[in-house]
Amino acid sequence: MTAHPRHTQATGQEFTKDALDRAFELTQGQPWLVNALAHEIIFKMAVWRPSADDPQPEGLAQLDRYLDRLTLPTGVLVIFDRRPEASPWKERGGFEQATTPSDRQVTVLRV
């Protein structure tokens, strides 16, 4: 897991010791697994960023595709709100029901 300092230097994104330890626990440092884990976390997370639209519609479509491949009837979409105007962390965490493009009922958690 020696690539993380280069990533931090290039992007400014810091990793906690707990996050690095957990990543190593999950991957045992295997480069392909580390990259796959990073891809899942970075590219497949629903994050509401400043100056962006609510990611829920795209997240529901993405979740729908995953559930279809896994032949699962339902799932959970977690949306991380990183906007400065978002409610304080302790006030977030509400659950709501939503419908995916193929009419699956799923739970949405906004944090």
Q: Which of 63, 9, 7, 12 is nearest to 34 (CA)?
A: 7
Write a three-state SS string for 18-50.
HHHHHHHHHHCCCHHHHHHHHHHHHHCCEEECC
User: Rounded to whole angstroms, how far apart are CA atoms 89 and 80?
Assistant: 10
One-letter amino acid at 93 equals G
Give the start-to-end residue ranges of the domains of the chain.
Answer: 1-43, 48-111
26's tokens: 């999950």
User: Rounded to whole angstroms, how far apart are CA atoms 22 and 38?
Assistant: 12
**pLDDT single digits (tens) 5-45:** 776 676 666 777 887 787 778 778 788 777 777 666 555 56
Please tell me the least confidently modeled range out of 14-23, 37-46, 68-77, 97-106: 37-46
Contact predicate 27/64, CB 8 Å: no
**pLDDT at residue 39, as a whole number:** 60
